[in-house]
Structure 1
Amino acid sequence: MYLLRNTVQPYDWGSRTLLPELMGVPPTGAPQAELWMGAHPVAPSRVVRGEALIPLDRVVAEDPEGELGAVTLRRFGPRLPFLVKLLAADAPLSVQVHPDLAQAQAGFARENALGVPLDAPHRNYRDDQHKPEMIVALTRFRALCGFRSPADTADLLDSLKVPALRPYVETLRAVRGPQALAEVFRAFLRPPTGLLEAVARGLAVAVAGSEEPCVAAYDRVAQVHPGDSGLLSALMLQYVELSPGEALFLDAGIPHAYLSGLGVETMASSDNVLRCGLTSKHVDAEELTRVVRFDAPPARVLTPREETGEDVYPAPVDDFRLARYVLRAGEPRRRVALDAPQILLCTTGTMAISSSEETLDIGPGQAVYVPAGDEAVLAGAGVAFRATTGTAERLG
């Protein structure tokens, strides 16, 4: 069992206050967007070994079976297959989608064959993995996730009273179904001159006379990203508000954008992102439309279900499994032992996490890594999240 030292990513959309408030430290004045916990090569956690700090990906590489367990090693190879983040958004992130496994493998091989450098700004696939993900709200959390129905999208666009939107409204009402969404989405990726400005003006008028939170959310997108065609894609997506403890699961091909709030994010350990807009980064319209799922079901807000003493957030993937523990002073300790690696993250209160060799005390924003087969016993008063793989077999 190792205490983790983790990297904060200072992306522009990050909050300057949410992470410092959670962790009880003074703000730096700079945006603090994501705290990464895992072995992703971009920003691996470091484990404390005596006086040394060792990158977690190196720890795994030195003893894959000992760290991951036989089941995880056989299923995913010699790598930690999940990544945990504390995500703190103060402004809209890019509208984006992630590929499925087959798309990632094909795209990665194709770009390698073309000789596209891994760090090239126009590269779409930086590894050969998919990236399903889940966000669990710690505060009120706002997001855009999945397509509105064609009828709902048509009604929203019509309500803005922008004459230039009329052809798109007619397409959505005449064609209907996934085909209508696909036609309008593709057209919005390359909008005609003047359309973005007209839509932004329409939103500014609409928000003044509307109490719908979605209208205010779209208007905020227009203000933060003026002149960005991603605004039009955003208008096609459902607006979702999560209360603390609620979650969203985002599978491959689902367009989404987080807007604001603090949450625990768990995902497959991948860096494959295709962006639709609200970004200065590369947008590959052709590849994007191959990956987007226009027939996906509506976004569904998830709540945890109780399973053998823990609250589990259901996800239909093997790469990760996320559970929450709410501990109260004086309650029996919680014993967790799995033939799979784990990351335990405290978000509220204090936790004493014990193994056969030591006890580590952690507070909000701190995390420990537990290798496969090791036992962790949780005690204290607060809330902790446990990330592991979906292939793990419970030992006790």
Structure 2
Amino acid sequence: MDRLANTVRPYAWGSTTAIPQLLGTEPTGEPQAELWMGAHPGAPSRVERAKGPVALSEVIAADPEGVLGEAAVRRFGPRLPFLFKVLAADSPLSLQVHPDLAQAKAGYADEEHRGVPADAAHRNYKDANHKPELICALTPFDGLCGFRPETEAADLLAGLDVDSLKPYVDLLHAHPETDALREVLTAVLSAEKTAMAETVAQASAAAERLAAVEGPHRDAYAAYASIARHYPGDPGVIAAMLLNYVRLQPGEALFLGAGVPHAYLSGLGVEIMANSDNVLRCGLTPKHIDVPELLRIVRFEPTAPGVLRPEAVDGEETYETPIDEFRLSRYVLAEGGEPRRLTSGAPQILLCTAGTAMLRSGGTGETGDPAATNAMNAMKGTKGTKELSLGQGESAFVPAGEEIVLSGRGTLFRATVVV
């Protein structure tokens, strides 16, 4: 196992204080949005070697099966199939959706065939992979996830009492759910910009008023008003009103599958996703929005947010998802508690988010019998016990097949692969 040195990404929507507080570093005054852990080519983690720091991607490339395990390489190829992050949002991220695997492969092949430059601002598909993701809150965390039922969306828009929104309310009442949601989103994103900017201004002012009084959508109106302050005049503000508002409490999570529109609004969380950069944007961004392609990818069906709470088995609290590129779980460690044995035929990244976690591999803790352990180490070609102490914000990479004994007092997240 190796301690990881990780890169912080300074996106404009990031918090200036949340990640420094987690890492125990001084804020720089600049936004610190994401701490990346993994082997993504954009910012791979680094591990120490005799000649100095080496990118984790290089370590994997030198021995894919030895580092990732034969099963993971057979299923996902010679690369780490997930990216693990700490995400700190101080303002809303773009309203977005991700393609499924077949759509990503077809879209990438098409843009490659047409010669669209890989770094072109209008390119939709950066790779041929899908991007399911999971966000788990470390603090109260606000987001938007999935379409509201059309009658609920109609009631919310009608409550704003804005004349230019009434045609959308009528559409939501007049058609079946999937058709109505498609027609309204299409109309919002295709509207004349000046007229839509005025609609957004009126809707946001109404949302501010309604957020100050008791009502069934009070919290949602407050969230939409906040979005509008960050993105005045953006059609995405109205598009956001079609989506469920959700607040996660620490330890709760959301899974975002293909075709589900979503946006993160504020808070600190750990995020894990399939290793892809494929994003189609619906709004709340100055970046390119390909409306026809977006409408082809979005699943126009009401979807409850589906807040996930971990399922505990033998001290490991797991967030169940329907995909195999990643698996996220959590250990809440108590001082003097029974050590936990972590084994996997797949690679793992371990992140401490509170307290201290002690990791021991290759030593007597593996079998409880020093003679048996020494024999096992000899067969493995290892050199005895290795220990790491992870403080808050620190992480480690564990290659496939290496057994870890975990102890300490605090909270540790475990990211691995289903093989």
Indicate whether 1:364 and 2:392 are aligned: yes
Residues 254 and 296, structure 1, Cα contact 8 Å, conserved in 2: no
| Paired letter, 1:112 | E
Q: Which residue of 1 aligns with 2:197?
A: 196
Distance, in Å, in 2 between the alignment partners of 1:202 and 1:317 is 38
Indicate whether 1:385 and 2:386 are aligned: no
Distance, in Å, in 1 between the alignment partners of 2:92 and 2:226 is 8
Distance, in Å, in 2 between the alignment partners of 1:177 and 1:368 is 46
SS at match of 2:223: helix
**Residue of 293, 303, 309 corresponding to 2:315:** 309
SS at match of 1:47: strand
How many Å apart are 1:363 and its aligned residue?
1.0
Q: Which sits farther off after the overlay, 293-302 or 245-254?
A: 293-302
Higher-Rg structure is 2
SS at match of 1:186: helix
SS at match of 2:4: strand
| Paired letter, 1:160 | L
Q: Which residue of 2 aligns with 1:114?
A: 114
| Aligned residue-pair number | 391
Any runs of at least 4 consecutive aligned residues in structure 1 with deviations exceeding 4 A, and if so which? none
Indicate whether 1:287 and 2:290 are aligned: no
How many Å apart are 1:241 and its aligned residue?
0.3
Distance, in Å, in 1 between the alignment partners of 2:45 and 2:11 is 18
Indicate whether 1:299 and 2:327 are aligned: no
Residues 200 and 232, structure 2, Cα contact 8 Å, conserved in 1: no
| Paired letter, 2:266 | S
| Per-residue Cα deviation, 1:80-117 (whole angstroms, up to 9, x for no partner) | 00110000000000000011000000011111111111
How many Å apart are 1:376 and its aligned residue?
1.3
Distance, in Å, in 2 between the alignment partners of 1:130 and 1:49 is 33
Q: Which residue of 1 aligns with 2:276?
A: 270
Distance, in Å, in 1 between the alignment partners of 2:183 and 2:21 is 44
Residues 34 and 86, structure 2, Cα contact 8 Å, conserved in 1: yes
Residues 196 and 232, structure 1, Cα contact 8 Å, conserved in 2: no
| Per-residue Cα deviation, 1:278-298 (whole angstroms, up to 9, x for no partner) | 111111111111111112532
| Paired letter, 1:201 | Q
SS at match of 1:139: coil
Q: Which sits farther off after the overlay, 15-24 or 99-108?
A: 15-24
| Per-residue Cα deviation, 1:183-224 (whole angstroms, up to 9, x for no partner) | 111111122332332332232233224341110110111110
Residues 200 and 233, structure 2, Cα contact 8 Å, conserved in 1: no
Distance, in Å, in 1 between the alignment partners of 2:314 and 2:61 is 32
Residues 9 and 35, structure 2, Cα contact 8 Å, conserved in 1: yes
Distance, in Å, in 2 between the alignment partners of 1:63 and 1:308 is 32
**Identity rate, percent:** 57
Residues 200 and 235, structure 2, Cα contact 8 Å, conserved in 1: no
| Paired letter, 2:36 | W
Residues 196 and 233, structure 2, Cα contact 8 Å, conserved in 1: no
SS at match of 2:312: strand
Distance, in Å, in 2 between the alignment partners of 1:50 and 1:120 is 39
| Paired letter, 2:152 | D
Q: Where does the alignment leave 5 or more consecutive residues of structure 2 unmatched? A: 363-384
Instruction: Compute the TM-score of the two structures, normalised by the length of structure 1.
Output: 0.97
> In structure 2, do the counterparts of structure 1 residues 154 and 297 end up closer, same or farther at CA, with 3 Å as the change threshold?
same
Residues 304 and 311, structure 1, Cα contact 8 Å, conserved in 2: yes
Distance, in Å, in 1 between the alignment partners of 2:199 and 2:110 is 39
Distance, in Å, in 2 between the alignment partners of 1:259 and 1:55 is 32
| Paired letter, 1:355 | S
| Paired letter, 2:204 | L
| Paired letter, 2:79 | R
Residues 162 and 199, structure 1, Cα contact 8 Å, conserved in 2: no
| Paired letter, 2:391 | G
> In structure 2, do the counterparts of structure 1 residues 57 and 368 end up closer, same or farther at CA, with 3 Å as the change threshold?
same
Q: Which sits farther off after the overlay, 319-328 or 219-228?
A: 219-228
How many Å apart are 1:51 and its aligned residue?
4.9
Indicate whether 1:260 and 2:261 are aligned: no
Alignment of 1:13-92 (within 5 A): 13-92=13-92
Residues 160 and 199, structure 1, Cα contact 8 Å, conserved in 2: no
| Per-residue Cα deviation, 1:226-265 (whole angstroms, up to 9, x for no partner) | 1212112111111000000000000000100000000000
Q: Which residue of 2 aligns with 1:394?
A: none
Distance, in Å, in 1 between the alignment partners of 2:134 and 2:67 is 24
How many Å apart are 1:120 and its aligned residue?
1.2
Q: Where does the alignment leave 5 or more consecutive residues of structure 1 unmatched? A: 392-396
Alignment of 1:150-299 (within 5 A): 150-192=150-192, 193-210=194-211, 211=213, 212-295=218-301, 297-299=303-305
> In structure 2, do the counterparts of structure 1 residues 82 and 88 end up closer, same or farther at CA, with 3 Å as the change threshold?
same
When the two chains are superposed, the root-mean-square deviation of aligned CA atoms in Å is: 1.1
Instruction: Compute the TM-score of the two structures, normalised by the length of structure 2.
Output: 0.91
Alignment of 1:297-376 (within 5 A): 297-356=303-362, 357-376=385-404
| Paired letter, 1:133 | E
Residues 349 and 381, structure 1, Cα contact 8 Å, conserved in 2: yes
Residues 348 and 382, structure 1, Cα contact 8 Å, conserved in 2: yes
Distance, in Å, in 2 between the alignment partners of 1:132 and 1:107 is 17
